[in-house]
Amino acid sequence: MTSIDFAALYQEERKKALAQIKTSNKNKSSSACSSSVFSRDDQRSIFRERVEKIDLSKYKLEATGIDSIYYIGEFISKEEEKALVDAIYQDDDKKELNYGEKKSWVSLSKRRLKNLGGVPHPSGMYLENLPKYICDFNKVLYQSGLDVEQFVQEEEQMESSLLVQDKTAQLSQQASYNQVLLNEYQCGKGIRPHKDGPLYSDVALVLSLQTTCLIDFYAEKPKAEYDEIPANIACNVFLQPRSLLIFCGKAYTDYFHGVRDVDRDEIDSTKCMNMNQANVEHAQVIPRGTTRLSLTIRKVRRVVSEKVFTSHEAEEIERRRKWWEQAIDN
């Protein structure tokens, strides 16, 4: 029996995989930001540079009684929104994208989505290239000081007088957002109440584009599909286009969130927590009118930074993708 040198075979297989990646990256266009979560400094961003840090505590929706939900209206400008939407749909028309970037949408029962940055999985997410428009947006978050994990930890440390200067760099390293769900909802469609779960760190940021909707938070998952307004809504937030919603802590771990399947939202002052910020009134009915896009930006806790996949690993990535698509059909 001939003995097989598995190490050599494995190396050979990796070489092939590397060659494949090199070929697919050969025509690297300016749309790629490669392995980084930020776009490179020499690339022109679709967003203007932010020079001031945002004091997140000013945007906290205290009245929710839920720790913690923040709402920032007009986080990006109309021009930036247009450039972002254009960049999102331009990917659909491109002949070739860079390795790991996603061209095709996944159609679920209620929405279409693109899973950007990798497939979250209990054994770790294989990092994939993020499109340039996401890297650009990550930079905006970074420049604005919206390193939410860091903010929460600093607040906690401040309370216990443990704030140490040299921790800052370390924390900002941890909090780079590496995974984004791009959702596209036809008018009248939403997303069932769900929790985002433990594969991510306990912070989610939602950038809304093109139109409005109410996002509801629940302590208990409502039982049926909504025909009527669920009785057990703890609170809701009216999401305007270009706004940034951030929820973390208990709002992330203990509460469900969802968007109802309606083509118009009615404001209820006993539930809606950002009526002033969004300039809406009790009983006001706001039609959604058009397709809504949202970017849900998060950090997957466990990643596999390996970018050279053998064919077995590539098969495994595909298997995980399918597992994940089934898991999120909400």
Ligand X SMILES: O=C(O)CCC(=O)C(=O)O
> Which stretches of the chain bind ligand X, using CB under 6 A?
181, 183, 191, 196, 206, 215, 239, 257, 259, 294, 296
Q: How far is the CB of 196 from ligand X (least distance, A)?
A: 5
> Nearer Cβ to ligand X, position 45 or 81?
81
- Helices 6-25 and 311-327: crossing angle, nearest 10°? 70
The smaller minimum CB distance to ligand X, of residues 122 and 197, is found at 197
Q: Which is nearer to ligand X, 215 or 233 (CB)?
A: 215
Q: Evaluate whether 246 touches 146 at the Cβ level (below 8 Å).
A: yes
Residue 206 C-beta: closest distance to ligand X, Å = 5
Q: What does the block give as tokens for 20?
A: 């494949």
Nearest to 289 by CA among 267, 268, 264: 264
Q: Name the residue nearer to ligand X (CB basis): 129 or 211.
A: 211
Nearer to ligand X, 127 or 191 (CB): 191
Residue in the block written with tokens 């937030």: 237
Side-chain half-sphere exposure of 299, counting CA atoms within 13 A: 18
Any alpha helices (H) in the chain, and if so which ranges? 6-25, 78-93, 132-143, 148-159, 167-174, 250-253, 275-278, 311-327
State the nearest-atom distance from the C-beta of 322 to ligand X, in Å. 19
Q: What sign results for the dihedral spanned by CA atoms 306, 104, 300, 34?
A: positive
Helix (H, G, I), strand (E, B), or coil: what is residue 63?
Answer: helix
Smallest gap, in angstroms, from Cβ of residue 29 to ligand X?
A: 27
Closest CA to 108 of 170, 190, 8: 190
- Between 17 and 131, name the residue whose CB sits nearer to ligand X: 131
Whole-angstrom Cα distance, residue 144 to residue 43? 19
CB of 111 to ligand X, least distance (A): 8
| Nearest distance in Å: CB 35, ligand X | 24
